Structure 1
C-alpha cells in the first residue's frame, strides 16, 4: 500500500495561505522550490479539496483539467461541478475503504496537496503517513490553517531536515 504524504509550505504561525488564499509571501524560487518540484514528479496520485482545486483557476486551470497531468488527480468535494470528460476524478465522500482502495491501486506515493480542512479530515482518520513541511519564516496572521479542525494528536518523528538558509527549513515527519 502506498503512503499518503501531506507536502505543503507553512508559515511560522501555521498557515498554508493567507487571507483570500494569498500565497505571495511564500518563497517562490531557489533550492527549496526546485527540490519541491522534483518531489512532485515522484507522486503518482494527487488528492485535494475543492478550494485547492479551484485555486488553480486563478492560474489558468480550466474546470475539469488536471493540474498534475503526470498523475491521477482526485478532488474531494460535494459542491464541485465538473464538466463531462473531466480529466480529474471527483469523490463526494471520504471513507476509509475508498482510501484503502486508492492506496492499493495507486502506482506510487499519494500527494495530499491541500487544503487544511481535507488534511485535518485525513489526519483525524489516521490516513496521513508522512508530513513534509516547507517552513517559511513569515507570519500570515490568518488564512488557511495547516490543519483546520484537527482532533487527533499523533506522534511525529522527524525523518529528514534541510536548512535552506534565511530561516527556510524543510522538515519531513513520519506520522505515528
Structure 2
C-alpha cells in the first residue's frame, strides 16, 4: 500500500494561500527557487498526485489557461486525481489527468493502484487532506514554513488534530524555509 504524504508550503501564520487564493506570497520569498530544487528526491518517490479543485483551478488560471503545454512534465508522467464537484477546464492531451468526485475511501483503491509502489502526494487542499485523514489514509505531513504572514487566507488544515496524532520526525532548513516533517496516526 502506498504512503500518503501532504507536502506543502505555508506562511508563518499557517495559511496556504491568501483570501483570494493567491500564492504570490510564496514566489516572493528569497530562495524559493532553490527550495523548490530541494524537492527532487521527494518527487522521485511520488507515483500519483491528488489535489483539490481550488488547487487545480489555480494551476489552470496561472499556469495553463494560456499555455496548456506547460502541464508540468512531473504531472504528465504520473496519474493526477483532481477531487471536484464542479466542471473544470481540461488540459488538452493530459492523459494522466482524472477528475473524480466522491468519498476518499471509495476512490482509495484506484489511487493506491495508480501510485504503484510509490507514494501518493496530496499537493493542495487543506480540506482534502482532512478528508484523507478522516478516511485513515494520511501518513505524513511535511510543511515548509515561509517567513511571511498574511493575517487571513486558506488555512493549512481546517480541522483539529491533537498531538497524539502528529509526531515530529525531522526539522531542516532550506533557504528561508523551515521544513517540518510529522508522521500522522
User: How big is the shift at 1:171?
Assistant: 1.3
Match of 1:33 in 2: 36
What's the TM-score once normalised by structure 1's chain length? Answer: 0.85
Match of 1:74 in 2: 81
Pick aligned residue for 2:45 from 42, 59, 64 = 42
Corresponding residue pairs, total: 174
User: How big is the shift at 1:41?
Assistant: 3.7
For the aligned residues, what is the CA RMSD?
Answer: 2.5
Cα distance 1:77–1:106, how it changes in 2: closer, same or farther (>3 A)? same
What's the TM-score once normalised by structure 2's chain length? Answer: 0.81
Could you say what secondary structure the match of 1:10 adopts? Answer: strand
Cα distance 1:10–1:71, how it changes in 2: closer, same or farther (>3 A)? same
Match of 1:156 in 2: 166
Unaligned runs of at least 5 residues, structure 2: none
8 Å Cα contact 1:75-1:91 kept in structure 2: yes
- Please identify which structure carries the higher helix content: 2
Matched residues in 1 for 2:78 and 2:64: separation?
A: 16
Unaligned runs of at least 5 residues, structure 1: none
* 2:15 equivalent to 1:15: yes
Matched residues in 2 for 1:85 and 1:29: separation?
A: 30
